[in-house]
């Protein structure tokens, strides 16, 4: 059988300088008709460049050079030369992108876009039915902005498959979707692939998605393929250390909540938390892999004085700016409390043109507690977080933030790149936050520099990056900068809006471990908004399940698998990919 895609010894470099940046090195693989090949790896692994190359989307960049070849359905092509791609792209090979909103024409109705492909309204409606869109006639006459994210992605799939391609490139097609819609999209793609017999290249950072969707897996690292094989074999017994690390970093409902995700030595972090709380030093090498947290000895004065002094100085400096916990009658006090909060948004059409999104929501977050708010897109969870942050106001009910000032509330958004001022360096972003803080009184230049440096250390970023602007950083680095800015002066509560959903598994696990470490060592409360029950279970003490603007269930994270009782909660649980 002739493969529908044959990538042979492909290397791709960026930039005109010598040496150029080698993004992909000597990559080769094939895809047969009816086969789904997953391309996985961390940010910077080369998977996105590989995906762009096999779509012919690198051809207009003069700074890109390549060797090797790509053959699609019998047509041999160069990864970066335009020759031949116009006869292939959109015909023999089509693409479903991560963000359909940026791929669909906002000035055209869905029907008009589809009819360009299908040639008739009847055939366009048939495809809208094929991708399981309710009320296809209504969708046909709608513009992209009038549809939900899941609906737009289904339209994108209809547009891609209506051409009956030999090869479909799925480039992170479920990253921005909640877990239940994600499961529906994967099922739809599999069904349509079986009907059309096309090959699929599925580029993703989500190993759960790759396991559910793909027949074979290619694992990339630093531009090279480090492992390939059947999905069953790679997930069950990865051969390379890197692939094994990725598998261990993947969150499932069976992930151990009491150890750092993807790290072999949970006791190291436990010892660091204990040491920081006690303003003492810790040597990571002293934590044995088989020791329990209670068995790990925090080094005493017999350790090298320079190391001990450095850790003590950092801990003491930080404690000066740490908020004091509020205690009432010996019990933790609520740091955030909603009582009967309702909210609606104006949609046009006069007084009646309002859409209710929250209905009498009550919740409580205590000092040093982490609470996860879990629900699908449109459930109202992000609106709750925005009200908690003071970015929106409630229509009715009350919101209490006892003793909290501007310094005490910090938000970490899903898109860190959009939340960081692009013309400021990382150092300027962190320094600005320290200077604007009134906690701890006046700060000397040396104290500001040290606080900024310690914040970079805390999020495992090289201090050299303080001179860089956000646009030069990877997605994972930008997210850690956002966290560093939030905790450079420790807040009383951290509001997190899907901070790991767009990150690869290794980076996501790093961020979750970091948030857990920081909340314990600094005594920070957390409200964590997510659609992923597996992530919620790891980061929180309690999970609140929200549906259609109402909190319908509250369970302890420890036993969420057994305690979720609502039909909606069980559906979210069942949608978590094992």
Give per-residue pLDDT as tens, 1-12. 789 999 999 998
Q: Which of 74-78, 362-366, 487-491, 519-523 has the weakest average pLDDT? A: 519-523
The model's confidence at residue 510, banded by pLDDT at 50, 70 and 90, is: confident
For the stretch 504-517, what's the b/e string if a residue is b when 16 or more beta carbons lie within 10 angstroms of its beta carbon? bbbbbbbbbbbbbb
- pLDDT for the residue 523: 80
- pLDDT for the residue 310: 46
- Please check the confidence at residue 114 and state whether its pLDDT lies above 90: yes
- Please check the confidence at residue 276 and state whether its pLDDT lies above 80: no
**Average pLDDT over all residues of the chain:** 79
- pLDDT for the residue 368: 84
- pLDDT for the residue 443: 78
The model's confidence at residue 256, banded by pLDDT at 50, 70 and 90, is: low
Cα separation of 336 and 105, whole Å? 42
- Please check the confidence at residue 549 and state whether its pLDDT lies above 80: yes
Give per-residue pLDDT as tens, 308-357. 344 444 444 445 555 555 445 556 678 888 999 999 887 665 556 778 88
Q: Are strands 216-221 and 224-230 parallel, antiparallel or unpaired?
A: antiparallel
Among 43-52, 112-121, 289-298, 401-410, top mean pLDDT goes to 112-121
Longest dimension (CA), the chain: 81
Does residue 39 sit in helix, strand or coil? strand
The CATH T-level fold of domain 327-404+492-575 is: Rossmann fold (3.40.50)
- Tracing tokens 């908020």 back to the chain, one arrives at 323
Average pLDDT over residues 186-203: 89
Q: 275 vs 42, which has greater pLDDT?
A: 42
Cα separation of 96 and 153, whole Å? 8
- pLDDT for the residue 120: 93
Q: DSSP readout, 431-469?
A: HHHHHH--TTS---HHHHHHHHHHHHHHTT--GGGGGS-
Cα separation of 7 and 70, whole Å? 5
| Residue pair 149/175 in contact by the 8 Å Cβ criterion | no
Q: 501 vs 191, which has greater pLDDT?
A: 191
- Please check the confidence at residue 152 and state whether its pLDDT lies above 80: yes
- pLDDT for the residue 329: 55
Residue extents of the structural domains in the chain: 327-404+492-575, 422-490
| Residue pair 494/465 in contact by the 8 Å Cβ criterion | no
Written as six digits, the tokens of 191 are: 């069904």
- pLDDT for the residue 145: 85
Average pLDDT over residues 138-163: 86
- pLDDT for the residue 330: 58
Question: Which letter does DSSP use for residue 89 in this model?
Answer: B
- Please check the confidence at residue 93 and state whether its pLDDT lies above 70: yes
- Please check the confidence at residue 32 and state whether its pLDDT lies above 90: yes
- Please check the confidence at residue 372 and state whether its pLDDT lies above 70: yes
- pLDDT for the residue 427: 92
Q: 250 vs 413, which has greater pLDDT?
A: 413
- What is the percent of the chain where pLDDT is above 70? 81
The model's confidence at residue 264, banded by pLDDT at 50, 70 and 90, is: very low
Beta strands in 367-509 (DSSP E): 370-374, 396-400, 409-412, 493-497
Question: Which letter does DSSP use for residue 380 in this model?
Answer: S
Q: 562 vs 166, which has greater pLDDT?
A: 166
Average pLDDT over residues 367-392: 87
Question: Which letter does DSSP use for residue 425 in this model?
Answer: -
Cα separation of 78 and 248, whole Å? 37
Give per-residue pLDDT as tens, 463-504. 888 988 887 777 778 888 888 898 888 888 889 988 877 677
The model's confidence at residue 440, banded by pLDDT at 50, 70 and 90, is: low
């Amino acid at each position: 059988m002739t493969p529908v895609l044959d990538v042979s010894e492909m290397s791709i470099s960026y930039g005109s300088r010598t040496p150029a940046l080698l993004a992909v090195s000597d990559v080769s693989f094939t895809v047969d008709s009816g086969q789904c090949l997953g391309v996985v790896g961390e940010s910077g692994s080369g998977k996105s460049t590989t995906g762009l190359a096999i779509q012919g989307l690198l051809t207009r960049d003069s700074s890109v050079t390549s060797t090797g070849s790509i053959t699609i359905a019998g047509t041999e092509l160069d990864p970066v030369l335009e020759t031949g791609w116009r006869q292939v792209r959109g015909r023999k090979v089509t693409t479903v992108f991560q963000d359909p909103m940026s791929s669909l024409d906002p000035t055209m109705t869905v029907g008009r876009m589809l009819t360009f492909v299908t040639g008739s309204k009847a055939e366009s409606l048939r495809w809208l039915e094929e991708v399981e869109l309710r009320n296809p006639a209504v969708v046909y006459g709608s513009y992209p902005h009038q549809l939900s994210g899941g609906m737009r992605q289904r339209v994108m799939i209809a547009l891609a498959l209506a051409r009956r391609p030999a090869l479909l490139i799925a480039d992170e097609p479920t990253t921005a979707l909640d877990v239940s819609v994600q499961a529906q999209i994967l099922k739809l793609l599999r069904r349509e692939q079986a009907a059309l017999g096309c090959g699929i290249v599925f580029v993703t950072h989500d190993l759960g998605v790759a396991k559910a969707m793909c027949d074979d897996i290619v694992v990339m690292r630093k531009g090279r393929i480090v492992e390939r094989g059947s999905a069953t074999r790679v997930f069950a017994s990865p051969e390379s250390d890197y692939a094994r690390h990725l598998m261990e970093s993947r969150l499932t409902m069976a992930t151990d909540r009491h150890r750092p995700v993807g790290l072999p030595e949970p006791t190291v972090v436990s010892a660091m938390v204990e040491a920081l709380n006690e303003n003492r030093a810790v040597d990571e090498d002293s934590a044995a892999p088989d020791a329990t947290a209670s068995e790990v000895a925090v080094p005493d004065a017999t350790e090298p004085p320079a190391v001990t002094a450095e850790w003590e100085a950092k801990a003491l400096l930080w404690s000066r700016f740490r908020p004091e916990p509020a205690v009432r009658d010996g019990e933790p006090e609520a740091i955030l409390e909603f009582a009967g909060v309702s909210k609606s948004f104006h949609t046009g059409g006069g007084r009646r043109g309002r859409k209710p999104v929250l209905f009498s929501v009550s919740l409580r977050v205590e000092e040093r507690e982490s609470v996860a708010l879990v629900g699908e897109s449109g459930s109202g969870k992000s609106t709750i977080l925005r009200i908690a942050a003071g970015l929106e106001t409630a229509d009715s009910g009350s919101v209490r933030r006892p003793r909290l000032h501007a310094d005490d509330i910090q938000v970490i958004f899903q898109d860190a790149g959009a939340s960081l001022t692009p013309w400021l360096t990382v150092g300027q972003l962190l320094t600005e936050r320290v200077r604007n803080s009134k906690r701890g009184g006046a700060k000397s230049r040396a104290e500001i520099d040290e606080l900024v440096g310690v914040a970079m250390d805390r999020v495992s970023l090289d201090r050299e990056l303080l001179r860089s602007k956000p646009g030069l950083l990877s997605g994972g680095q930008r997210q850690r900068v956002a966290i560093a800015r939030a905790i450079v002066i420790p807040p009383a509560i951290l509001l997190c809006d899907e901070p790991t959903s767009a990150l690869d598994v290794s980076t996501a696990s790093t961020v979750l471990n970091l948030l857990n470490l920081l909340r314990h060592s600094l005594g920070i409360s957390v409200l964590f908004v997510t659609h992923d029950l597996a992530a919620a279970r790891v980061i929180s003490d309690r999970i609140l399940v929200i549906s259609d603007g109402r909190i319908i269930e509250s369970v302890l994270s420890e036993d969420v698998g057994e305690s979720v009782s609502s039909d909606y909660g069980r559906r979210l649980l069942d949608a978590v990919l094992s």
